[in-house]
Chains A and B, each alone.
Chain A
Amino acid sequence: MEDSLTITRPVTRRSFFKLMGSGLAVIVSAKDVFSSSFISDATLAEDSIAAWIHVDEAGLIQVYTGKVEVGQNIRTSLTQIVAEELRVSMDAIRITMGDTQLTPYDRGTFGSLTTPNMSPILRKAAASLREMLIEMAADSWKTNVTSLTAKEGKVSHPNGTTITYRELTKGKKILKAVNQNVTLTPPEQWKVAGQSLPKVNGRDFVTGKHQYASDLQLPGMLVGKILRAPAYGATLTSVDTSKAKSMAGVTVVEDQNFVGVVGPDTQAVETALWEIKAQWKMKPQPSRATIFNFFREQAQTPRSEANVGNVDSVFQSATHVLSQTFQLDYIAHVPLEPRAAVAQWTGNNLTVWTGTQRPFGVQEELSELFKLPKEQIRVVMPDTGSGYGGKHSGDAALEAARLAKSTGKPVKVMWTREEEFKWAYFRPAGVIDVKSAVSEAGLLTAWEFHNYNSGPAGLRTPYEVPNQKIEFHPVDSPLRQGSYRALAATANVFARESQINDHAHMLKQDAVAFRMQNLKDPRLKNVLSATAEKFGWNKSAADSGQGIACAYEKGGYIGTAVEVRVVNGVAVIQRIVAAFECGKIINPRHLKSQISGSLVQGLGGALFESIDFTEGKIINASLANYRVPRFKDVPEIEIVLLDRPDINSTGAGEAPLVALAPAIRQALYQATGNRQNQLPMLPNG
């Protein structure tokens, strides 16, 4: 493992070849990638570099991006797009990701932004490189570029002569910006991109060779653990560490509320931790039973998302008004690999390896904690055991770095499942009030929507409604909460689409037809009809329940239909059909996998996942007591991919999740007669 600090960031145009070695490179600047709103981010200078592709002297093509691989298989999809435009095989390319020392700054891998932002620009960068290589060949052959073609890592002359990229780049030091007007390979001609190619480095994963952060070992490395509070808000009043300190090979690190132990292995450290006697002062905290009232009581000034027309006057005169409340519990991400980090100090320089979606964010957290310039901190992110929005913070990294600093040895901190449940952050719980009116003809006339705490993502309605009042009411959450795959769109779409289904039902209208007459967006209508068609909407047997829903989120359009049957008195989800469209498809297999994975994860939150807590204590902090979907929970899943080669791809890690819960709710209602207005819907199921 490389553990020394060899490069001083940031890589600039001037220092590029000194650091990277000679060759030919195309640089993607930050403003090529991000919209202006992103550039206003203080840490991101206007001219900073966002990614680059470099053909080095050995002919190896190296791509550097600050994005990270958390199981969404972007390592593979980005390789495909670069291989395609450069006309090389997949294995001619190496992608270096998420290393603050080697890769350009990136705010983080979340919000399904990699595909929409990074993929098109890397595609242009690769095409620009291809153009440069062809120009260089044309120069050396004194001919014109139009007669030359690039293929399999070579440029060919019509007379049969070829020259390899390697020969072309040898000894060169050429650096160029992306040609924004470069000719791209049209998707109809794609041979590598657009194909279901297997995961890059797939072999390392089936042989156990791939090292996640939790697998790394450094010479002389020790293991560390942290003393945790018994509940949220508790503070340490006194601690007796004498017994732990007396244990062979164990060091206790104390710094106010922070108490950690370091030792040769997990067993020793767990025993030492057990021997520490601590007194805590508790602070009154809400429980799950009171949390929804708490949200209403503690709500801060609402933020308006939409305010058009006058909803109140419509409600006064309308005949069909529907008003209901939805609630959702906190849920946990449960990444199968809990938070883990290895930290090593070399003098005043710190290197941390950790599984995170934001290596540069973790670098900032470390810089703040140790009052150390960022140049002295390197955060490396080995492809990690998933995140789903749950690994934005650097908790384990900070802990490992503190312990390593105190002991002068490299330290690994690996959270237990219990710690991950208790001290990571949750998908917010929330309360949503919806009131809406429809005309006799089945047109929505007024829409009032209040979301407490769960978040503003996906708050706006895609339906055409002349009068709207939509507000988000933030609350200081008593439990630590944060990002989660699809954010609050899951909550907001659940409430919205449930309301829509109920309106259709009240008017005795078909749920698809009702939507069609209230929607304008053609892409959304397309996924809805594709879903209905594949599902055989309204055709299935009378003894089953059916539900449907649709949504637009993060550039992805999703339609979902569900069939529920009651088997021996128990409602069972028999079938899920989902149609998805997110522009041009880069890797159909991995896209399907993302969609199906989102749906399976969505099943958990829709049906049974929920964090239980009393007075700030998480009481189901184990996988035996917090149920996540398993093999048996997965029904038949059919996915329809709608390809739009004319539209740039967006990410697919999130949107597919959001329409599932309302579709299930409707199917459950038809099958059982019960309408569930809370998530999870079947907590004991």
Chain B
Amino acid sequence: MQLRVNNQDYEIDVNGNTPLLNTLREHLKLTGSKYGCGEGVCGACTVLINGVPVRSCITPVGSTQNKEITTIEGLEQEGKLHSVQAAFLETDPFQCAYCASGMILSTVALLKRNPTPSRQEIVEAMQGNICRCGTYPALLEAIQVAVKK
């Protein structure tokens, strides 16, 4: 099967029903995308497919062929952080940071769709991402910093 992840082509041998998340983590060794629930409700596994955020834990890898997949590992370009990553690094919202990759990719997708979201729009867009450490107030701040970048 052919996959295109972070602008790189991969040829892999997996069953098309395998969740994209498992394929990324186990076959491509891209472990930045995290498992949090496996049922599409926590957002830890968020990746972008053609720029749209999806829950990779409930996305069969077979459905993602010939599409552009972006994971957290693909945001940094030539050693330069993506502006959303930079905003999160600077604002330092995290505790354990296990939610970080999903939060950052969801923010990237949000700002692509709506470059100047209101606080309410941010909350709506991020409702599917859980931070169990409860850093939501700081995350909101980080997203607002990202908006300005």
Q: Do A and B come from one complex?
A: yes
- Does A266 lie within 8 Å of B22, measured CB to CB? yes
- Does B41 lie within 8 Å of A623, measured CB to CB? yes
> Bound state CA distance, A630 and B104, in angstroms?
16
Closest B residue by C-beta to A198: B92
CB neighbours (8 Å) of A107 from chain B are none
- Does B97 lie within 8 Å of A596, measured CB to CB? no
Number of chain B residues whose Cβ lies closer than 8 Å to a Cβ of chain A: 60
Majority DSSP secondary structure for residues of A touching B:
loop
Whether A207 contacts B129 in the complex (CB less than 8 A), given A266-B26, A623-B42, comes out as: no
- Does B99 lie within 8 Å of A209, measured CB to CB? no
From A205, A209, A338, A416, name the one whose CB has the most chain B CB atoms within 10 angstroms.
A205
B148 at the interface (CB under 8 A from A): no
> Bound state CA distance, A73 and B26, in angstroms?
29
CB neighbours (8 Å) of B94 from chain A are 71, 199, 202, 205
CB neighbours (8 Å) of B126 from chain A are 631
Mask, B11-50, CB within 8 Å of A = 1, is 0001101110010011101111111111101101000000
Contact of B26 among A205, A212, A265, A338 (CB under 8 A): A265
- Does B127 lie within 8 Å of A205, measured CB to CB? no
Whether A598 contacts B98 in the complex (CB less than 8 A), given A207-B76, A267-B22, A338-B35, comes out as: no
Query: Which chain B residues (92-108) contact chain A, with CB distance < 8 Å?
Result: 92-101, 104
Q: Smallest Cβ distance from A70 to chain B, in angstroms?
A: 6
> Bound state CA distance, A632 and B125, in angstroms?
10
Contact of B95 among A73, A267, A417 (CB under 8 A): A73
CB neighbours (8 Å) of B76 from chain A are 207
Q: Smallest Cβ distance from B91 to chain A, in angstroms?
A: 9
**Interface window among A318-326, A329-337, A563-571:** A329-337
Mask, A203-219, CB within 8 Å of B = 1, is 10111111110110100
A117 at the interface (CB under 8 A from B): no
Query: Which chain A residues (593-639) contact chain B, with CB distance < 8 Å?
Result: 593-594, 596-601, 603, 622-624, 628-632, 634, 637
> Bound state CA distance, A225 and B90, in angstroms?
39
A354 at the interface (CB under 8 A from B): no
- Does A601 lie within 8 Å of B134, measured CB to CB? yes
- Does A417 lie within 8 Å of B98, measured CB to CB? no
B113 at the interface (CB under 8 A from A): no
- Does A206 lie within 8 Å of B85, measured CB to CB? yes
CB neighbours (8 Å) of B81 from chain A are 203, 206-207
Number of chain A residues whose Cβ lies closer than 8 Å to a Cβ of chain B: 56
> Bound state CA distance, A632 and B136, in angstroms?
9
- Does B93 lie within 8 Å of A71, measured CB to CB? no
- Does B133 lie within 8 Å of A597, measured CB to CB? yes
- Does B132 lie within 8 Å of A334, measured CB to CB? yes
> Bound state CA distance, A417 and B21, in angstroms?
15
> Bound state CA distance, A622 and B130, in angstroms?
13
A109 at the interface (CB under 8 A from B): no
- Does A597 lie within 8 Å of B123, measured CB to CB? no
From A71, A72, A335, A414, name the one whose CB has the most chain B CB atoms within 10 angstroms.
A71
CB neighbours (8 Å) of A632 from chain B are 123, 127
Query: Which chain A residues (27-54) contact chain B, with CB distance < 8 Å?
Result: none
Closest B residue by C-beta to A639: B137
CB neighbours (8 Å) of B122 from chain A are 631
B73 at the interface (CB under 8 A from A): yes
Q: Smallest Cβ distance from B138 to chain A, in angstroms?
A: 6
CB neighbours (8 Å) of A414 from chain B are 35
- Does B38 lie within 8 Å of A597, measured CB to CB? no
Contact of A337 among B36, B39, B85 (CB under 8 A): B36
> Bound state CA distance, A202 and B90, in angstroms?
9
- Does B132 lie within 8 Å of A628, measured CB to CB? yes
Closest A residue by C-beta to B40: A624
Q: Smallest Cβ distance from A238 to chain B, in angstroms?
A: 29
CB neighbours (8 Å) of A637 from chain B are 137
CB neighbours (8 Å) of B133 from chain A are 71, 336, 386, 597, 601
- Does A214 lie within 8 Å of B35, measured CB to CB? yes
CB neighbours (8 Å) of A596 from chain B are 134-135, 137-138
- Does B36 lie within 8 Å of A336, measured CB to CB? yes
- Chain B residues at the A interface, C-beta cutoff of 8 Å: 14-15, 17-19, 22, 25-27, 29-39, 41-42, 44, 71-73, 75-76, 81, 85, 88-90, 92-101, 104, 122-123, 126-127, 129-140
- Chain A residues at the B interface, C-beta cutoff of 8 Å: 70-73, 198-199, 202-203, 205-212, 214-215, 217, 223, 265-267, 334-338, 383-386, 388, 414, 416-417, 589, 593-594, 596-601, 603, 622-624, 628-632, 634, 637
The 5 A-B pairs at the shortest CB distance, nearest first, are namely A208-B32, A600-B134, A71-B96, A385-B98, A208-B72
> 20 A-B residue contacts at CB 8 Å?
A70-B96, A199-B92, A202-B92, A203-B81, A206-B81, A206-B100, A208-B30, A208-B73, A208-B101, A209-B32, A265-B27, A266-B22, A335-B96, A336-B42, A337-B36, A385-B34, A388-B132, A593-B95, A631-B122, A631-B140
